[in-house]
């Protein structure tokens, strides 16, 4: 029987760290601070502000964000090396809720070719890193880089050791976006079942979108015991990006009949946060992007328009207002129907009888074949031509005009 008590999933936003690492998305200190304040308004649980060891600028930016943010935890990323951890600790020390996030690779391919370390050496480095981080900060997250391609038995060992060393969060990244949802679900289930002290830490996941499965993998993870999801605004991040915050949050919000979870996110700030990121980076959102794309609440097909105008639930599974938009958008194009066109013209102040609406519809479809989308000024021109005079405002079209 399904538990009636919803489990709250923590939202860890890494837009300012992993997101910013994607080519073309670099942000300066004032821009990152502005976005961090928007993320706090969005009510994310954790803001990963950057990788302090990467540069002096990144250190100063993380430090400033840590000093400014009061409600969300502020995390600094670091490898398990002493200089990294010390730098991250200094960057977040003034935070109201500081977190040190340390990581090391655990897949055989990474250990052999990148780290040149044995499994024993990697566990030792992880333990020493967590212990050092813990000496600076109570909240320590440990990540096993490339976990989805790691030997599960080795993950059980290193996670148990990291928790014993003081880790409060254990993170399972699908670093290269390799996992399939059922595989990733089994991995999380296995960790939950085989790490003896797993209940002493929050179990987190960090999924990449190389196969377009980051959100699916994240949702499968919480179904199998994950308690935190790491994600980004607009799904930005290395290569094909990270799991998209807006998609995860709205999937949970929209499908409560099947997902017995909640988040603390203020969903009405989702669209404003998306737009702020696009404005700061100069990188627009693809039109068909779920939740925040220009077409997410737009309708051109006549059948869809008719249904939405009669009852939005016919074709919208969430309201535009729930994510911070004011309304949906009826697009007039070659697929539009007379019903939608009539409603649009009515909103613009025109009253048409059936014969005039047919005439207008024929003009609109002819124009739409040439220019794809018919804008408001095009409709005004069509109405003026039908009336044989300018029609700048509300105007009544006489029958046969």
User: Over the range 232-242, which residues count as b (16 or more CB within 10 Å of their CB) and which as e?
Assistant: bbbbbbbeebb
Q: Are 126 and 142 in contact (CB under 8 A)?
A: yes
Separation between Cα atoms, residue 138 and residue 397, nearest integer Å = 72
Domains with residue ranges and CATH for the chain: 7-281 (3.20.20.70), 298-396 (no CATH)
Q: Is the pLDDT of residue 352 over 90?
A: no
Region 238-250: mean pLDDT is 97
Region 215-224: mean pLDDT is 98
Q: Is the pLDDT of residue 209 over 70?
A: yes
Residue 398, burial from CB neighbour count under 10 angstroms (0-12, 13-18, 19+): exposed
Per-residue tokens: 240: 């094909």
pLDDT of residue 235: 97
Least confidently predicted of 39-43, 130-134, 178-182, 254-258: 254-258
Q: Tell me the residue ranges of DSSP E strands in 25-156.
A: 46-50, 73-79, 98-105, 140-145
| pLDDT tens track for 2-46 | 456 899 999 999 999 999 998 889 999 999 999 999 999 999 999
pLDDT of residue 376: 67
pTM to 2 decimal places:
0.83
In whole angstroms, what separates CA 210 from the centre of its chain?
15
Q: What is the mean pLDDT of the chain?
A: 88
pLDDT of residue 401: 32
pLDDT of residue 388: 63
As separate numbers, helices (DSSP H) first and strands (DSSP E) second, the chain gives 14, 14
DSSP tag of 54: G
Q: Are 374 and 332 in contact (CB under 8 A)?
A: yes
| pLDDT tens track for 122-159 | 999 999 999 999 999 999 999 999 999 999 999 999 99
Banded pLDDT at 1 (limits 50, 70, 90): very low
Region 48-56: mean pLDDT is 97
| pLDDT tens track for 304-344 | 555 545 666 565 667 778 888 765 565 666 677 677 777 77
pLDDT of residue 268: 95
pLDDT of residue 338: 72
pLDDT of residue 302: 54
Region 64-84: mean pLDDT is 98
pLDDT of residue 389: 45
pLDDT of residue 391: 43
Region 213-227: mean pLDDT is 98
Pairing of strands 140-145, 98-105: parallel
pLDDT of residue 306: 55
Report which of residues 211 and 2 the model is more confident about: 211
pLDDT of residue 259: 94
Region 182-209: mean pLDDT is 98
The residue among 206, 284, 295, 281 whose CA lies nearest residue 245 is 206
């Amino acid at each position: 029987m399904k538990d009636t008590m919803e489990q709250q999933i923590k939202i860890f936003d890494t837009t300012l760290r992993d997101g910013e690492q994607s080519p073309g998305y670099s942000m300066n200190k004032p821009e990152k601070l502005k976005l961090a304040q928007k993320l706090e308004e969005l009510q994310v649980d954790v803001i990963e502000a950057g990788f302090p060891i990467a540069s002096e600028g990144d250190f100063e930016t993380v430090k400033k964000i840590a000093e400014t943010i009061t409600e969300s935890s502020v995390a600094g990323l670091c490898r398990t090396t002493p200089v990294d951890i010390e730098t991250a600790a200094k960057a977040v020390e003034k935070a109201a809720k500081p977190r040190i996030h340390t990581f090391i690779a655990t897949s055989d391919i990474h250990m052999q070719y990148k780290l040149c370390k044995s499994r024993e050496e990697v566990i030792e480095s992880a333990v020493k890193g967590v212990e050092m981080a813990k000496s600076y900060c109570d909240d320590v997250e440990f990540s096993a880089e490339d976990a989805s391609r790691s030997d599960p038995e080795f993950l059980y060992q290193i996670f148990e050791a990291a928790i014993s060393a003081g880790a409060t969060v254990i993170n399972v990244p699908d670093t290269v976006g390799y996992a399939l949802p059922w595989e990733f679900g089994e991995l999380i289930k296995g960790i939950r079942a085989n790490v003896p002290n797993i209940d002493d830490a929050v179990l987190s996941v960090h999924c990449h979108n190389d196969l377009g499965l980051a959100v699916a993998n994240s949702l499968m993870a919480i179904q199998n015991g994950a308690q935190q999801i790491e994600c980004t605004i607009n799904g930005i991040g290395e290569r094909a990006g990270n799991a998209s915050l807006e998609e995860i949050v709205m999937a949970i919000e929209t499908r409560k009949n099947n997902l017995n979870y909640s988040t603390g996110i203020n969903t009405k700030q989702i669209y404003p946060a998306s737009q702020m990121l696009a404005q700061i980076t100069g990188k627009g959102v693809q039109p068909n992007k779920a939740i925040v794309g220009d077409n997410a609440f737009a309708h051109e097909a006549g059948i869809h328009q008719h249904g939405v105008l009669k009852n939005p639930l016919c074709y919208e599974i969430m309201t535009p207002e729930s994510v911070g938009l004011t309304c949906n958008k009826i697009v007039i194009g070659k697929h539009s129907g007379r019903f939608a066109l009539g409603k649009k013209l009515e909103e613009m102040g025109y009253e048409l009888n059936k014969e005039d609406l047919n005439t207008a519809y024929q003009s609109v479809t002819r124009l739409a074949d040439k220019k794809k989308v018919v804008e408001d000024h095009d409709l005004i021109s069509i109405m003026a031509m039908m009336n044989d005079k300018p029609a700048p405002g509300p105007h009544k079209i006489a029958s046969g005009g």
